[in-house]
Amino acid sequence: MNIFTKILAFAAPALIAVSCTSVGDRPGWEYAPDMYYAKGYEPYSQPVEPYEYNPYGMSMRIPAEGSISLGHLDEVYAFENSGDGYEAAGNELIMPAVVNISPEHAKDRFIIYCAPCHGETGKNDGPIFKKVSTLKPAWSGYSDDYIKNLPDGKIYHTLMYGKNNMGSHASVLTPAERWAVIKYVRILSNGGTAATAPTEDAMSETEEMKGDAE
């Protein structure tokens, strides 16, 4: 082995090691650049070569203010997050005649998102309220007259924005699911139980009771 071969044998690994090391603005050699730089553009991202006609050179334009995503028209909500909006929702917002959510699904959403605080039968005895009693509302449970007399629109508004210690559920419940949960709450407030409440007959009876009361 001549001297040149020996030098190359020792220098090549050192050269490779130095070349693969990033220093300052030098990224070094990348073994598989496709793993670092995706071929497709991420929405609202700024590519290496910015788009001249898009704001901030982004890969797509920001939707016009007030735009509604296809298939999400029911998510448009006209009442603002304020005391006046809460009262207006109670007076003007009415539950749809038909809610295309099964009673079983309504119960499932209630158990996941409501029962941890309010309990499976709506007695404000969920594990969170048991652990931190100061979070409990002033009313004792769903059988309280306050809940029985609370308009559906106000309950929906509370699910939309949250109220007091209760946070918004708009990100986890679709508009139809919110109405279905409200119907389930009405069953519990009229003496139903978690086991028997979610039935079509029970929900129909509740609607009739509400109609008679009005």
Cα separation, 189 vs 187, whole angstroms: 5
Regions of the chain where pLDDT drops below 50: 194-214
Q: What pLDDT does 81 receive?
A: 95
Contact 183, 206 (CB under 8 A): yes
Q: What is the pLDDT of residues 165-199, one digit of tens each?
A: 999 999 999 999 999 999 999 999 988 754 444 44
Residues in CB range of 56: below 8 A, 6 or more apart: 46, 50
Cα separation, 198 vs 184, whole angstroms: 7
Q: Quote the mean pLDDT of the chain.
A: 80
Q: Where do the domains of the chain lie?
A: 3-57, 73-213
User: What would the DSSP string read from start to end of 118-155?
Assistant: HTTTTSS-SHHHHH-GGGS-SS-STTSHHHHHS-HHHH
Q: What pLDDT does 213 receive?
A: 42
Residues in CB range of 214: below 8 A, 6 or more apart: none
Q: What pLDDT does 179 receive?
A: 95
Contact 166, 114 (CB under 8 A): no
Q: What pLDDT does 65 receive?
A: 83
- Environment class of residue 54 by beta-carbon count within 10 Å: exposed (0-12), middle (13-18) or buried (19+)? middle
Q: What pLDDT does 203 receive?
A: 47
Contact 181, 159 (CB under 8 A): yes
Architecture label for domain 73-213: Orthogonal Bundle (1.10)
Main-chain dihedrals φ then ψ at residue 202, nearest 5 degrees? -65, -40
Contact 44, 59 (CB under 8 A): yes
